[in-house]
Amino acid sequence: MLGATRRVTELIPRSLQSLRRLHEDIEDNIHFYKSRGQHILTNPRILDAIVRKSAINPTDTVLEIGPGTGNLTLKLLEASHEVIAIEIDHRMVPILENRALKRGLRNKLKVITKDALRTEFPPFDLVVANIPYGISSPLVIKLVYGTTRFRSATLLLQKEFARRLLANPGDSEFNRLAVNVKLLADVEFVMDVSKRDFFPSPKVDSSVVIIRPKDKIPTVDLREWRAFTRTCFNNKNKTLGATFKSKRKVLELLEFSKDDVCNSFKEKIIGVLREGGFEDKRPSKLSIDELLHLLYLFNQVGVYFDHHGELRNEDDRFEDGDIDDK
C-alpha cells in the first residue's frame, strides 16, 4: 500500500491541465470507491467557478468535506487563509498533502482523517465541498442545525437532491429536508454540472448550490420543530387530518396507550387542525410560517413533540438524544 501511494504521488503534475489523465493514472494504483462517492471533479473551469462563487476572503478558514485527491483543495488553499479538510479515506491523504506541498501551500492545509458525520467541526468561516452524495442529507442538516456560525456553504450535490433543497411549498420536490433547511437558511442555485466533468463519471448529473444561514431565525424549539416536521411529512401527500386523526396513529404517536388519554389527545389534535383550517391541507403545500403556526397552536393546547416525533404532555416535553433526520 505504501509503495502504491509513493508511486501515485510521483505522478502528480504541476498544472491542472491534465487532471483527467492524472486521475486515470491514479486509478491504476488506487481504486476509486463508488460506495464512498469517489467521483473526482476534473473540469478546471467548474473548479474555478465554484471557488469564484464562494467569494472567499484571504483571511477565511474554509472547511472542505471530502477533499479526495485535492483538485478543489488546491484552489481553496490559493484563495484562503487556511483549509480544514475532513477526509474519511486515508489513501487520499498523502496525495492531497503532496500536491499542496508541491505548490508551497502545505502550511495552510489541515487534514482530519475522519468521518465528517462523526466529527465535531472546528470553527470555520465557510464551507466549500464536492460532497459524497450518500451523506448529503445528514451532512446538510449537520451544517445548518450545528452550533458553528458560518457565512455560506457552497456544495456540489446530486442534481435531484439540489432540486429538493431549492423547492418551494407546492413544488413536487418540496419535502421535509427542504422545510427544515429553509427554516434556517436561504438556498441559491449556482449551476448544473455534467456527469462528464467527473472521473470516474457518476450515473447522475450534479448541481452547485450555496446555502446561507439566515441572520434572523424564528423563535422555535429546533429539536421539537424537526420532530414535528417528521410527523407532518410522514406521508407528505396525505392530508394532515389523515396523518394525525386516526386512533391508531394517535396511539402510535402517543407513549401512553390508555383509551382516555388517547381520546383526550385526539380531541385536542382534531380541534387544532379544524379550527386552524389545517385538516384538509397537505404538509408539502404549506409555507414555513403556516407550519410554524400549526406547531404553535398544538403547543397552546399542551400538545408537544419529542425527538421521535411522538406526542408529549407538557411535563415531559424535553428529552435528550439526537433527532434522526432520515
Ligand X SMILES: C[S@@+](CC[C@H](N)C(=O)[O-])C[C@H]1O[C@@H](n2cnc3c(N)ncnc32)[C@H](O)[C@@H]1O
In the complex with ligand X, the residue whose CB is nearer, 132 or 169, is 132
Q: What are the two backbone dihedrals, phi and then psi, of residue 3, each rounded to the nearest 5 degrees? A: -60, -45
What is the spatial distance between Cα 193 and Cα 156, in angstroms, rounded to a whole number?
Answer: 8
Please identify, using beta-carbon distances, which residue of 43 and 243 lies nearer to ligand X: 43
Q: For residue 302, what is its C-alpha cell? A: 399542551
Residue nearest to ligand X as judged by C-beta position = 66
Q: Residue 70 or 169: which CB sits closer to ligand X? A: 70
Closest CB to ligand X among residues 87, 306: 87
Identify the burial level of 207 via C-beta atoms within 10 angstroms of its C-beta, where 0-12 means exposed, 13-18 middle and 19 or more buried.
Answer: buried
CB nearer ligand X, residue 114 or residue 247: 114
What CA–CA distance (Å, rounded) separates 191 from 196?
Answer: 15
Interface with ligand X (CB under 6 A), residue from 89, 97, 188, 205: 89
Does position 63 interact with ligand X (CB under 6 A)? The reply is no
Binding flag, residue 39, ligand X (CB under 6 A): yes
Q: Coil, strand or helix: which one is 274?
A: helix
Report the distance separating Cα 200 and Cα 23, nearest Å: 8
Burial of 249 (0-12, 13-18, 19+ CB in 10 A): middle
| Residues 307/322, Cβ–Cβ less than 8 Å | yes
Instruction: List the grid coordinates of 105.
Output: 501551500
Q: Which of residues 101-160 bind ligand X (CB under 6 A)?
A: 115-117, 130, 132, 135
Q: In the set 66, 169, 283, 309, which binds ligand X (CB under 6 A)?
A: 66
Smallest distance from ligand X to CB 221, Å: 29
Give residues with Cβ within 8 angstroms of 111, minimum separation 6. 67, 85, 86, 87, 93, 96, 97
The answer to the question of residue 74 lying near ligand X (CB under 6 A) is: no
**Shortest distance, CB of residue 260 to ligand X, whole angstroms?**
47
Site string for ligand X, 248-287 (x = CB under 6 A): ----------------------------------------
By CB under 6 A, name the binding residues for ligand X.
36-41, 65-68, 71-72, 86-89, 92, 115-117, 130, 132, 135
